[in-house]
Structure 1
Amino acid sequence: MSTPPPPVSLPPEIVSLADHESHARTRLDSNAWAYFSGGAADEITLAANRSAWAQIPLLPRVLRPLAGGHTRVELLGRTLAHPILLAPVAYQCMAHPDGELGSACAAAALGAGMVLSTQASTRLERVADAIRDDAGRGPLWFQLYWQHDRGFSRELVQRAEQAGYEALVLTVDAPCHGARDRERRAGFRLPAGVAAVNLLGLPPPPRVPLRADQSSLFDGLLQHAPTWADVQWLQTNTRLPVLLKGLLHPDDARQAVALGVAGLIVSNHGGRTLDGSPSTASALPCVADAVAGALPLLVDGGIRRGTDVLKALALGACAVLIGRPALYGLANAGAAGVAHVLRLLRDELEIAMALTGCATLAQAPQALASRPLRPGQQ
């Protein structure tokens, strides 16, 4: 049994998620940094995710009753202490030896939800065993990438069910990788000892000879890309609620509602798939209008402040997910770093609520400035 690494203390100057990112840059090698921090192509969407939240104004309210306020929300039949979950991030052992176990334990300690990636570098059973019996933890969900072998997908789902995961999150916005220039420049490769351990045993896809006039993408890889029919198949082959992650178009949201999925996550894959796609902050209100409260909406992408969390809930989400910030916290100090990131966000959310006169998150819509103040107005 390996000896765990000594705990790492966070420098006192780390007081924000941006500080965590800056410090993580000094701890991750260029290979891991390119993978975790990079986006697709020119990284337009990556940048837009962050700037879009920053451009949404909040309107302070004063002298409102705030005593007894709280950050609790309801999600899929559970009461969460706060609306912050950890998004699925692959290969977390590249950031810290504790990997997904460190993230899961931090999430459980802070009452946050955890979504484990199909491409986790720790077995899904081991993660579930570590936190399943923690009474104060948030929800534990398993993110699913559709596999070319339906039988293997079924076995993966059954493993998640047996391990105690409470929902499946099917990622639907990545039938292929985006053009990730940063990874290609870095010559990205998985380091020794890091692998997608939950996919061990997956048989290789059948090789179909291609003619010279055929595309290796459209006539090869995308022959196995999931469709709406596969969503229906998944729903009938699991007892768990199924959420779809990666929707931006209102028509896709309406179709998901028609299929009876349990929830939607408005996401552009952190800007890692289609560069030039809308920011999640701009897409969220349109999707919220389309579903009209028929199912829970969550959102990720570019959330770096508690004010961003409040804005997301004001625009129609019931919870948010964070990916890179938690990964940076993990790189900086293992589980303690992830816990610090979550604590910062929750503290900032409470501050934002207090300063906009929101005692509960049900009041979040009133925090938005419906129109910018004109010069001279106060």
Structure 2
Amino acid sequence: MSEHLWRSSVKDLEPFIPGQAAKDAKKQEKVSEVIRLATNENQLGPSPKAVEAMINAIQQAHFYPDLTCLELRSKLGELHGIDSENYVVANGADNIINLVIASYINPGDEVVYCTPTFSEYHKNTLLMGGVPVEVPTTKSHKFNLEAMLGAITEKTKIVIVCNPNNPTGTIVDEEELRAFFKRLPKHVVAVLDEAYGEFINLEKYSTGVEYIKEGFPVITIRTFSKLYGLAGMRVGYAMASQELIQPLQRVREPFACNRVAHAGALGALEDIDHKNKTLLENKREMEKLVKEFRSFGYDVEASHTNFLFVDMKRKTARIAEALASQGIIIRPAADWGYPTYARISIGTAEQNNKLVKALQEINAKSLHHI
């Protein structure tokens, strides 16, 4: 074994565990169709304009992509009203998380966040020799900002707020978040992970864009994987003041966003109709699923994402297995410490109808065996 040659922090890392792949489900369950409701993908797919742009970009695959994604940064600048120099574009939001932590964390520095949440905060902190400081979420599954403030020490370098949170779908109160930023010590950088930020369905709810403009020391993370349906292309970005974004620009690897992905992101931003269609259908189908789930006696968290965090009142591992046998994949939450919960992505109307029907059958069988 060569483990003695590894960097010491690597031994503490656990590989990322994604939702079950469709091809694996087909092979294991011998089903012809797989409905993926475990990884929060946009079931409508990418915009036709994005697809066309990506096809055209393939014709130039022999050329290196734009080193800093200047055209995309310019478009994002127009969209958010923040100067194009205040962005870093990279290989998905998870790559951005890696760049942020690599830019700021020295061995022994602390990173404070709540759990359950996205596992890459923990992994990347350990990789840099940092110390993850994990605070439980509130009883309503929201980030506990007051407890996070209480956990800050002289060694704390970064605090991360995942808003909306993955896997719970919850958001924090806007005024509480603003007060939280105001109370942060000068030596602490705030990171606002808004991978699902475009799905927040409250009017005039402030996001990272507003906080950056107000001068708060906030690095905001966004992605094209969710709303824009480009999960397979891997495009994420960070925006912040020039002072905070500079180290990311230095750490970022050359050509961190490939030519095809860059073109797809540009095309996606042009198609407002597709964006609005996604938001409308997600809202409508979510409301339908919430009603159905509650009719089963499940508890459902209010969600501001494209997924639901559902307490199914019994261990979800068996429910997930039964659904998988019919080609429907959901994400049990036992790994997050919630054995009776599942994270279920919002599908199309047809997919959701099949899910509801399958759950009705599973619940009927369960009652029959009591």
The answer to which structure has the higher strand fraction is 2
The TM-score, its normalising length taken from structure 1, stands at 0.30
The TM-score, its normalising length taken from structure 2, stands at 0.30
Pick 1 or 2: higher relative contact order, CA cutoff 8 A, min separation 6.
1
